């Protein structure tokens, strides 16, 4: 891996750190403004829905104008949005900040396109594995950083997140060169970069089915990521600090699996089979989690879950990249990020709708649903494997 790869891996780590500082506190921060469980789910959704519309535009524009300027715009939006959220005095300001962060939040798709630019196909799986590990390291240090920020206030975590994103922005400006070699020659009409492009993405040979699978993967996972927090706090009787420590544990286990686990599993299984195994463990874990409402049991299931869950996204991102043409990497990664974004918008709303505050037993319903639906996603991936196996 060359110097540019390690620069983008560093940027990905810092960006992940900025994002994961917020994960343990968004639910509780929304509660501070008097929002219901359903309304707090919309805080997660508005960010993701905004990304849904923005990321295909950002991805395709990066194929035309280069990766670096679009990455700068995305990171700058995160800085400004988190400063607004951290100083918000009303729920409306908080929702506006989350929307701004989402509408400029195409940094993940651009970073993935950069990795595709600078890695040869036979090294692409390793490249996305390291990229995933960089994100995972952010998941380790992000909750730790959040713990310290929470000692000041929940809003301080947003300020810290904005400051971290500013560091990534400065590194991008000062050290990251442009990596796009073959720019798209098409003069894009901005109105052709939205829903029409998303529909066209579904018929891209070998890629379309992977986009569909990843959309359902994202939907089932974000049902869990939202439902996990109220279940952990209201059913298991935990607080924001212990919730943050759980995210810290997820991050540590994810880094271990993405650095050592991938190389070990790759000796015995191909990318597709690793994806199948990871989805099976994920779905089983979702179903098992709410069966026994005891914290020790929940943590034990979560350990197994987090080890294999950390492999799902790197494997499917690699498969999408390997099946896309070199000149279309930014477009395809933008489409992928956009489908994930809309799935991230749907999942929390489904979870929030299933939870009734007057009945604490309902906090486990979204977890059961996420498990059942993930089994169905696994079935879809298995029966269509011949259409996307490299």
SS3 sequence, the chain?
Answer: CCHHHHHHHHHHHHHHHHHHCCCCCHHHHHHHCCCCHHHHHHHHHHHHHHHHHHHHHHHHHHHHHCHHHHHHHHHHHHHHHHHHHHCCCCHHHHHHHHHHHHHCCCHHHHHHHHHHHHCCHHHHHHHHHHHHHHHHHHHHHHHHHHHHHHCCCHHHHHHHHHHHHHHHHHHHHHHCCCCCCCCCCCCCCHHHCCHHHHHHHCCCCCHHHHHHHHHHHHHHHHHHHHHHHHHHHHHCCCCHHHHHHHHHHHHHHHHHHHHHHHHHHHCCCCHHHHHHHHHHHHHHHHHHCCCCCCHHHHHHHHHHHHHHHHHHHHHHHHHHHHHCCHHHHHHHHHHHHHHHHHHHHHHHHHHHHHCECCEHHHHHHHHHHHHHHHHHHHHHHHHCHHHCCC
For residue 335, give the CATH number of its domain. 1.20.1250.20
Q: Is position 59 within any domain? A: yes
Residue 290 has what pLDDT?
94
Give the pLDDT confidence of 46-73 residue by residue, as tens digits. Answer: 988 887 777 777 877 888 888 899 899 9
Give the pLDDT confidence of 198-209 residue by residue, as tens digits. Answer: 777 788 888 889
Residue 140 has what pLDDT?
80
Distances (CA, A) of 310 to 32, 278, 279, 390: 31, 8, 10, 22
Residue 322 has what pLDDT?
86
Q: Is position 330 within any domain? A: yes
Residue 380 has what pLDDT?
95
**Highest mean predicted confidence (pLDDT) among 52-56, 130-134, 318-322:** 318-322
Q: Is 90 exposed, middle or buried (0-12, 13-18, 19+ CB in 10 A)?
A: exposed
Q: Is position 187 within any domain? A: no
Q: Is position 38 within any domain? A: yes
**Highest mean predicted confidence (pLDDT) among 5-14, 148-157, 279-288:** 279-288
Residue 189 has what pLDDT?
54
Residue 54 has what pLDDT?
78
pLDDT band of residue 269 (cuts 50, 70, 90) is: confident
Domain that holds residue 310: 3-176+192-387
Region 168-174: what's the mean pLDDT?
Answer: 92
Q: Is position 301 within any domain? A: yes
Region 319-338: what's the mean pLDDT?
Answer: 79
Q: Is position 370 within any domain? A: yes
Give the pLDDT confidence of 63-110 residue by residue, as tens digits. Answer: 888 889 989 998 999 999 999 999 999 999 999 999 999 888 767 778
Share of the chain above pLDDT 70, in %: 94
Distances (CA, A) of 98 to 45, 159, 341: 9, 13, 13
**Residue 201, both tokens:** 């993405």
Least confident of 215-219, 289-293, 337-341: 337-341
Q: Provide the domain count of the chain.
A: 1
Q: Is position 306 within any domain? A: yes
Q: Is position 185 within any domain? A: no
Query: How far is it, in rounded angstroms, from Cα 203 to Cα 246?
Result: 40
């Amino acid at each position: 891996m060359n110097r540019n790869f390690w620069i983008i891996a560093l940027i990905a780590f810092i960006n992940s750190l900025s994002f994961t500082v917020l994960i343990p506190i968004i639910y509780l921060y929304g509660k501070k403004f008097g929002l219901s469980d359903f309304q707090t789910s919309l805080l997660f959704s508005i960010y993701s829905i905004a990304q849904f519309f923005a990321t295909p535009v950002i991805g395709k524009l990066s194929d035309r104008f280069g990766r670096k300027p679009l990455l700068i715009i995305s990171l700058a939006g995160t800085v400004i949005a988190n400063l607004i959220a951290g100083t918000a005095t009303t729920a409306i300001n908080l929702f506006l900040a989350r929307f701004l962060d989402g509408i400029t939040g195409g940094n993940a798709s651009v970073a993935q396109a950069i990795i595709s630019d600078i890695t040869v196909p036979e090294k692409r799986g390793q490249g996305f594995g390291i990229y995933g590990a960089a994100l995972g390291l952010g998941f380790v240090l992000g909750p730790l950083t959040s713990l310290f920020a929470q000692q000041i206030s929940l809003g301080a975590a947003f300020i810290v997140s904005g400051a971290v994103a500013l560091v990534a922005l400065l590194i991008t400006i000062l050290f990251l060169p442009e990596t796009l070699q073959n720019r798209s020659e098409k003069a894009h009409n901005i109105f052709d970069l939205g829903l029409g492009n998303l529909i066209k993405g579904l018929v891209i040979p070998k890629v379309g089915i992977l986009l569909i699978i990843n959309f359902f993967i994202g939907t089932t996972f974000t049902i869990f990521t939202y439902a996990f927090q109220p279940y952990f706090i209201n059913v298991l009787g935990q607080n924001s600090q212990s919730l943050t420590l759980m995210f810290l544990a997820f991050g540590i286990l994810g880094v271990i699996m993405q650095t050592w686990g991938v190389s070990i599993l790759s000796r015995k299984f191909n990318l597709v089979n690793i994806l199948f195994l990871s989805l099976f463990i994920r779905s089983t874990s979702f179903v098992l989690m709410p069966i026994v409402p005891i914290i020790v049991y929940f943590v034990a299931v979560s350990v197994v879950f987090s080890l294999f869950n950390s492999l799902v996204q790197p494997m499917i991102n690699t498969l999408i990249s390997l099946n896309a043409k070199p000149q279309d990497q930014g477009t395809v990664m933008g489409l992928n990020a956009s489908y994930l974004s809309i799935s991230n918008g749907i999942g929390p709303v489904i979870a929030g709708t299933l939870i009734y505050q007057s009945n604490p037993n309902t906090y486990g319903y979204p977890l059961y649903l996420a498990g059942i639906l993930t089994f169905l996603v696994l079935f879809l991936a298995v029966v269509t494997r011949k259409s996307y196996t490299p």
